[in-house]
Amino acid sequence: MAKQIVETLIEGGKATAAPPLGPALGPTGVNIGQVVAEINKKTADLKGMQVPVKVIVDTVSKEFQIEIGTPPAAALIKKEAGIEKGASNPLTDRVADMRMEQIIKIAKAKESALLGKELKNKVREIIGTCQSMGVMVEGMSAQDALKAVAAGQFDEKIKSGKTELSAEEQKALAEEKVKLQEELQKKRAQFESQAKGILAQFDKDPKKAKKAMVEAGIPQMIIDELIPPEKK
């Protein structure tokens, strides 16, 4: 049986006959509409994420099989945490908090792509990604959560394999996320005020102003917003 394989990235639930999928499938002679419908059905729960998709076509019978990969761990974390992006400065900013059940859920979803042999090690890998995104775990920094996992604090939860949260737990996380976002906005306003004060002091010398902002610990994103590119 001759086979032809088409691999691509598709936004969950939004596959179409347009590029990149349609043109790649055209030469195989397969029914593109059926392939698109099947992909969208299988990726409906992954909306907003780029999903690896493999279409295996029998070039004689034109029958096909679809294999759906898992999105990157960062995308799954954003989905579980309900955030659009990670922290601009993960060392100081916290954008959301997650429960161990959610970490376990992601670790299981990415099981075949992770290096750890046991679930506990896979959980540590996911928490490591949380650390790079400014996402807390069980009310503590990801770094402290890694230490807690290593110390066995969450062994019982990990062993249980529980991946779902109660309605009460979900509500508590949502409320905490709002508080974290408010804290980020307040911190940003303080940085902006400080940066504008520095800019006023060095109004005729943007280079010195930028240097002073960096030394004062102003986030680079705010510096770039306040100093026009032509003055850098």
The 10s digit of each residue's pLDDT in 164-177 is 888 998 899 889 88
Contact between 163 and 104 under an 8 Å Cβ cutoff? The reply is: yes
Question: In this model, does residue 118 exceed pLDDT 80?
Answer: yes
Across 18-43, average pLDDT: 92
Q: Averaging pLDDT over each range in 11-25, 34-48, 121-135, 214-228, which range is the top one?
A: 121-135
Same domain, residue pair 42 and 103? no
Residue 170 within any structural domain of the chain: no
Q: How many domains does the chain have?
A: 3
Domain membership of residue 171 (yes or no) is no
Domain encompassing residue 93: 73-165
| Domain end position, chosen among 68, 85, 115 | 68
Which of residues 165, 200, 216 is at a domain's end?
165
pTM of the model: 0.70
How many other β-carbons are positioned within 10 Å of the β-carbon of residue 218? 19
If you average pLDDT over every residue of the chain, what do you get? Answer: 90
Q: What is the pLDDT of residue 163?
A: 87
CB atoms under 10 Å from CB of 93, counted, come to: 17
Name the DSSP letter for residue 14: -
Tell whether the model's pLDDT for residue 231 goes beyond 60. no
- The average pLDDT across 108-117 equals 85
Q: Are residues 48 and 104 in the same domain?
A: no
Of the candidates 23, 49, 68, which is a domain's last residue?
68
87 and 104 share a domain?
yes
- pLDDT value of residue 146: 96
Q: How many CB atoms lie within 10 A of CB 209?
A: 21
